[in-house]
Amino acid sequence: MFDLYRPGTSFLHRAPAGGKVLALAVLGTLTFLTDDIRIIAAGLAVALLLYPTCGLTLKNAWAQIRPTLWILIAIFIAQVIFNTWQLGVFVVARFGLLLLLAGLLTLTTRASDMIDGIERGLPFLRLLGVNPAKVSLALSLALRFIPVLAQITKDVREAQRVRGLENSVIALAIPLFVRTLRMSDDIADAIEARGYRP
């Protein structure tokens, strides 16, 4: 799997995926209910401590923040200009905390465990008139399709390079879509031919 999971045996690694998602949702909501920077700072300290506790490095923690760094900087500057620098620090610290907490979930939970957890939680969908088996099929198919699409993209790109069209987005996209749509029709037929009736 190409997920962000980092193998380990810590208590967070062993905790059930559903419980971790729930905990993150609760903690995430709580950070929006407080306006006390001290609570956020304490949260940040705990989250940072949890990284080494769970066999992760501080580099892993930084990797959670880095992709959003420019947004954080932009938000901070805007807060300093339009409000106060204190509010800027608070908002940025809250983001940092949320990213670190979510990173803990992502790094200690296999995507496959997460999907299993979701599938176990799906039966409630029946009450809404949604068939959980269909959701589950769509999830697994999408995961399978991503590497396939990367391969088809590579093939089409090579074919178009031969024609000198490698810089044309449209010459790349149209055959890519036609190929994948044809493939998806075949897959649907194959699934039905095997008697799948969700």
Partner 1 sequence: MTLTTRDIVMIALFAALTAALGLFPPITLPIAGGVPITAQSMGCMLAGALAGAKRGGLALALFALLVAIGLPLMAGGRGGFGLFLTPSGGFIIGFAAAAFVIGWLFARHSGEVPLVTSIIYIAIGGIGVVYLFGIPWWAYTAEQSIAIVAGKCTVFLPGDSIKVVLAALIARGVRRAYPGL
Give residues in contact with partner 1 (CB under 8 A). Answer: 2-5, 21, 24-25, 28, 64, 67-68, 70-71, 74-75, 78-79, 82-83, 87, 91, 95, 98-99, 101-103, 105-106, 109, 111, 114-115, 118, 129-131, 134, 137-139, 141-143, 145-146, 148-150, 153, 169-170, 173-174, 177-178, 180-182, 184-185, 187-188, 191-192, 196, 198
Q: How far apart are CA 108 and CA 15, in angstroms?
A: 9
Q: How far is the CB of 129 from partner 1 (least distance, A)?
A: 7
Q: How far is the CB of 74 from partner 1 (least distance, A)?
A: 7
Q: 45 or 181: whose CB is closer to partner 1?
A: 181
Q: How far is the CB of 53 from partner 1 (least distance, A)?
A: 19
Q: How far apart are CA 95 and CA 115, in angstroms?
A: 26
Q: Could you tell me the CA-to-CA distances from 14 to 19, 109, 147 in Å, in that order? A: 11, 9, 28
Q: How far is the CB of 3 from partner 1 (least distance, A)?
A: 6
Q: How far is the CB of 82 from partner 1 (least distance, A)?
A: 6
Q: 27 or 41: whose CB is closer to partner 1?
A: 27
Q: How far apart are CA 167 and CA 150, in angstroms?
A: 17
CB atoms within 10 A of CB 37: 14
Residue pair 72/95 in contact (Cβ under 8 Å)? The answer is yes
| Tokens found for residue 145 | 């399709």
Task: Return the closest-CA partner of residue 6 out of 56, 51, 53.
Answer: 56
Q: 8 or 145: whose CB is closer to partner 1?
A: 145
